[in-house]
Structure 1
Amino acid sequence: MTSKPLLDMNYTELTQWWNAYREEEASWGAYLKEPAPVVLTTIYAQLLAEGSIPASKENISAAKRHLHDLERQGTDAFPWIFDEEKAHRPIQFIEEKCKPSKGDFDQLVLQPWQHFVIGSLFGWVHKDTGVRRFREGLVFVARKNGKTTLISGLANYMLGFDGENGARVYVLANAEQQAHELFDESKAMVEKSPYLLKKFGKPQRNRILFNKTFSRIEARASDSKRLDGLNTHLGIFDEIHEFKDFKLINVIKKSRGARKQPLIIYITTAGYVLDGPLMDFYEIGKSVVNGIEVDDRTFYYLAKLDDLEEMDKPELWIKANPNICLMDFVNLVNDWKKDKKSPQERADWVTKQFNIFSDVDEMSFVDVATINKNNKVLDIETLKGRECIGGYDLSETEDFTSACLEFPLETGEIFILSHSWIPLARFDRDGHQERL
């Protein structure tokens, strides 16, 4: 390894560094080329806790939470125990029975972080009843980290191999199309696996059935017309960063009553909706893993960069991208060196690749950093009589009416004077002046 910053390396140097890095990671099990013979949940937690694998502060805390729970498992104060066989069972199923629908791979190989997620969700059970500890789980990771493949395989497991008669597995999203993307992956896995195809039969267009236990997988969305009468065994919310309210989430939560050990998984990247359900879950998750709040029934995995300075340290990108060893890292670094110069491209990287919440999306003209850099003060009286360019946007119903004046200055800079107004009817309806 070299001390030269990765962003300063040329293509050849970076390729050499990356090949050496991957081999080193593989040599001690941080990167798996073939399925592990045992569940790695606790091993991964130890690696994070001791700092062997870079991880977000929240995931280090989540790892320490797991290790602390092992020390007190099976006590009167903490009646949960970690069953390694139950933890490994769904992992083995995905690796042995589910076939990847994309790429040139013949077999799925779950990585240590995926062992931690699935092993935690299924391995922690009540010491007397054997019922699963976790009823909900938030899996918060950057894009292209195998979320869809992982959860699609898990959906097939819960359909026919979790011992639940009449299991209802719902793939859920903000819109029908998004829900079907994950459902279609589960469907493709069945169609490519001779074992599952024989077990379940050929999937239908909108559902996968397991007639032996009267179970099925279906896709549902917030814009679905039929949301009543659900009976959830597993609910998978895909990309909940797009959700603006709890409507569908509450429907699914309330549909678990008849189930012995239902599970809801929220799997997502960061997003731009800063007042939606994801932000609430995320803030609660940080408090739980840090021991500020107590919630023994919800699992959290929060993979993200800890601050914006780490964006220029690709060796730390694994914090947000635990599947980094399976990515085209060299081209990823080169793309970042180019894209970060554009505010729009940079905003997308911040949110989707580094998994940091942002109030600036890919449609924004400038990002917050650029605005702050140009946040200068000018006496408005000096603008009197100056030439300017004006523009306005009139509201039709409840949106803002806005007007803007741009003043070219002698320095080559442009002073912008803008103002927005909200309709009185909306103000009266909301009744919360502090929100405006």
Structure 2
Amino acid sequence: MTAFPNVDIANKWAKQVVSDRIPACKWVKLACERHLNDLKKQKNRDFLYKFDPKLAEKKIAFIELLPHTKGEWAMKRLTINLEPWQKFGIACTFGWVRKKDGYRRFRESYWEVPRKNGKSAIAAGVALNMFANDGEFGSEVYAGATTEKQAWEVFKPARLMAIRSPDFVEAAGIQINAGSLEIPEDGSVFETIIGDPPDGQSPHCAVVDEFHEHPTSALYDTMQTGMGSRRQPLIFTITTAGFNIEGPCYDLRVRIQEMLLGTVPDDELFGFIWTIDDDDDWTDPDVLRKANPNYGVSVYSDYLESQQRRAIQNAAKQNAFKTKHLNVWVSAKSAYFNMEQWNKCKDTTLKIDDFRNDACMICVDLSSKIDIAARINLFYRIIEGKIHYYCISPQFYLPYDTVYNGEEKQVVERYQKWMKLELLNVCDGFENDLNEIAEDIIKDAEHLSVKEVPYDEWGGFQISKQVDEAGYTSIKVPKITKVFSPAMKELEAAIAAGRFHHDGNPVLSWMIGNVVSKTGKNDTEFPDKEKRFKKIDGAVAVLMGINRVLILTSDPEEDDLSKHIEKYGVRRL
């Protein structure tokens, strides 16, 4: 027996998930991989964080001292017994700290779990822990929701836990009121907060329950902005999936996915999503265990199977079943490109100097003057009869006003971060300087073997004249399915086969991951985005370049490019 038995259980569980000995979707696997990889990286001097098993053990042990408040376990007066997956989530949320000062690493923790998997008990335990067991003088903890009834779904069990734990109440000096818990000695308070609260709070912790029901991010934003005076605050979000992919919960879910995929790293964000994978059959009883971590514990197999059968037999019940018991956002679309495969295509050794004599497309998507513009350097080589693509040093342009005052607040902070990392070319004022972009293209083209400069028909015409006058060939690429469907299928195949090579630019990776497909007749594909803020300009520019490469290398006797690709596998060269 080690000194940290609960942490050992959490780590063992993570290893079993990664090795497929415990069924879990890719988002849970990625969360486990991140933790296990960080445990190795903490030995490196330049890694800013370390895992404190003593601290993680303390938090788990505290929650397991609290009593159940519902069902047969409450009737038997049993204390909470966390399952391994819950111990993992608590250990990660509270065990990771900053090396420089020992304060907590994660400021946001997002748990998306289907119904009946013990969410309320976990949320109540976290709230009590942050209220009276985190060493914070004058702690303020809020149970936030859209309605008073929903807020009490967290506060009520926490209050009952306190009532049924007299030793804890006495030791912490807690005063139990009808609608709040207080520690008079230092002014700590735990209470509910509803809807769009006014400023004035200084939360140490905000527990946001069923975030999918929130129509706006007002409560979340108010809690987050109020945490500035706290050393190690936490927003703890625990929710099921929902239907509104335009809402703030789905936006946060996207952040979690981007973080787990590594396309937009966020060292202060923890999260995992319990659901099924895209290729799973939702009617298969085996997927129930995969999406429900408390399968057979707090949610019984016969109940889930009966709900599944009802949904199979009644189409009107299918969406509710998928959302509440499989955590599927039924209005959401799946990303078209496989980002795990994309990440494997990353090669940070790629340098433009090594490709100066290789055929090159400089592809430009300039569809909006006030939004992000993309310029892609796409080189290509023929290796053993196959086209290999090399995307090196892509450039992105954005007006200064959009970086700081853009209407899409979901990406403003991201833009500012990328600007500091010199991943964006920021133009003065309110719109992109197309002359500057044209000059950059011409300057780079002087040192490259540029075949063409493909540009989009909706904006790129403004630079084509300058490009042509400089002696290069600009090509207008219409945004139609006939152009983009073969390119999308070729890029998908090239990524899977390792024929597409890129230097790991995070802006481009983010855009590739944002592409969904607008599928048409005869299985045609067209690049689309699920939400307005999920930009795909860089991906569109890549696809324009691929379209032109396919045309330039195709058999002139083959009229239908898509048939040619299908006939000869990837390409006949």
Q: TM-score, normalized by length of structure 1?
A: 0.71
% of aligned pairs identical? 33
Of residues 309-318 and 183-192 in structure 1, the stretch that sits farther from structure 2 once superposed is 309-318
Output the amino acid matched with 2:106: F
The Cα RMSD (Å) is 1.8
Does 1:284 find its partner at 2:270? no
- Secondary structure of 2:59's partner? helix
Q: Pick one of 136, 143, 147 that aligns with 1:171.
A: 143
1:349, distance to aligned residue in structure 2 (A): 0.6
Does 1:182 find its partner at 2:154? yes
Partner Cα separation in structure 2 for residue 296 and residue 146 of structure 1: 27
1:157 corresponding residue in structure 2: 129
Does 1:89 find its partner at 2:61? no
1:312 corresponding residue in structure 2: 283
1:298 corresponding residue in structure 2: 269
Partner Cα separation in structure 2 for residue 308 and residue 350 of structure 1: 14
- Secondary structure of 1:101's partner? coil
1:267 corresponding residue in structure 2: 238
CA deviation string 1:133-179 (max 9, x = no partner): 10111111101110110110111111111000000001101222211
Q: Pick one of 84, 91, 110 that aligns with 1:119.
A: 91
Q: Contact conserved, 2:288 with 2:304, CA < 8 A, in 1?
A: no
Partner Cα separation in structure 1 for residue 164 and residue 279 of structure 2: 41
Output the amino acid matched with 2:228: G
Partner Cα separation in structure 2 for residue 197 and residue 222 of structure 1: 30
Partner Cα separation in structure 2 for residue 169 and residue 46 of structure 1: 33
Of residues 247-256 and 318-327 in structure 1, the stretch that sits farther from structure 2 once superposed is 318-327
Higher RCO by CA contacts (8 Å cutoff, separation 6 or greater): 1
- Secondary structure of 1:178's partner? helix
Alignment of 1:189-200 (within 5 A): 189-198=161-170, 199-200=172-173
- Secondary structure of 1:256's partner? helix
CA deviation string 1:170-225 (max 9, x = no partner): 110122221122111111111122223334445211111122332110100115xx
Output the amino acid matched with 1:80: Y
CA deviation string 1:30-88 (max 9, x = no partner): xxxxx965553322211111111111111111111111111111434311011111111
- Secondary structure of 2:281's partner? helix
Q: Pick one of 306, 309, 333 that aligns with 2:305.
A: 333
2:413 corresponding residue in structure 1: none
Partner Cα separation in structure 2 for residue 200 and residue 263 of structure 1: 23
- Secondary structure of 1:66's partner? helix
1:314, distance to aligned residue in structure 2 (A): 2.2
Superposition misfits of 4+ residues, deviation over 6 angstroms: none
- Secondary structure of 1:52's partner? coil
Partner Cα separation in structure 1 for residue 5 and residue 116 of structure 2: 22
Partner Cα separation in structure 1 for residue 194 and residue 277 of structure 2: 32
Q: Pick one of 70, 75, 81 that aligns with 2:44.
A: 75
Q: Contact conserved, 1:160 with 1:213, CA < 8 A, in 2?
A: no
Q: Pick one of 15, 30, 45 that aligns with 2:14.
A: 45
Residue-pair matches, total = 323
1:316, distance to aligned residue in structure 2 (A): 2.6
Q: Pick one of 230, 233, 245 that aligns with 2:201.
A: 230
Q: Contact conserved, 1:183 with 1:219, CA < 8 A, in 2?
A: yes
Output the amino acid matched with 2:95: G
Q: Pick one of 71, 95, 109 that aligns with 1:103.
A: 71
Output the amino acid matched with 1:93: F
Q: Contact conserved, 1:191 with 1:202, CA < 8 A, in 2?
A: no
Partner Cα separation in structure 1 for residue 81 and residue 159 of structure 2: 19
1:262, distance to aligned residue in structure 2 (A): 0.4
Q: Contact conserved, 1:87 with 1:122, CA < 8 A, in 2?
A: yes
Partner Cα separation in structure 2 for residue 221 and residue 239 of structure 1: 13
Q: TM-score, normalized by length of structure 2?
A: 0.54
Partner Cα separation in structure 2 for residue 77 and residue 318 of structure 1: 39
Does 1:139 find its partner at 2:93? no
Q: Contact conserved, 1:41 with 1:120, CA < 8 A, in 2?
A: no
Does 1:220 find its partner at 2:172? no
Of residues 309-318 and 136-145 in structure 1, the stretch that sits farther from structure 2 once superposed is 309-318
Partner Cα separation in structure 2 for residue 246 and residue 334 of structure 1: 35
Partner Cα separation in structure 1 for residue 243 and residue 202 of structure 2: 31
Partner Cα separation in structure 2 for residue 119 and residue 107 of structure 1: 19
Partner Cα separation in structure 2 for residue 184 and residue 119 of structure 1: 25
CA deviation string 1:388-426 (max 9, x = no partner): xxxxxxxxxxxxxxxxxxxxxxxxxxxxxxxxxxxxxxx
1:228, distance to aligned residue in structure 2 (A): 2.1
Output the amino acid matched with 1:102: K
Output the amino acid matched with 2:257: K
1:319, distance to aligned residue in structure 2 (A): 2.5
Q: Contact conserved, 1:39 with 1:87, CA < 8 A, in 2?
A: no
Ranges in structure 1 where 5+ consecutive residues have no aligned partner: 1-34, 361-436
Does 1:244 find its partner at 2:212? no
